[in-house]
Structure 1
Amino acid sequence: MNIEITEFLAKELIAEQFPKWLHLPIKPVEFSGHDNRTFHLGDEMLIR
């Protein structure tokens, strides 16, 4: 079973689990791992 990890899903998870960071932009990292997806959260954090 494959689940597509999109920016939309990442934003939903941030809203649910870390609402204080919801205002930060989410941008995909150009080269993510082969079994995970990494995004920039603002200018100083990464989420995976």
Structure 2
Amino acid sequence: MYSRYAIMFPLTLVLMMALITFWINQTVQEQGPRIDGSNRHDPD
């Protein structure tokens, strides 16, 4: 019979890889333009 670690170790690795992939994807995605008016250039 499999031990608990033999089952949990691959699941933990897959979960870690999924989290790292999500983090990298969020880090490198280009941010969309802000719609809060912070990029307006009103004359003085």
- Higher-strand-fraction structure: 1
Q: When the two structures are superposed, what TM-score results if normalisation uses the length of structure 2?
A: 0.29
Q: When the two structures are superposed, what TM-score results if normalisation uses the length of structure 1?
A: 0.27
- Higher-helix-fraction structure: 2
Instruction: Flag the structure with larger Rg.
Output: 2
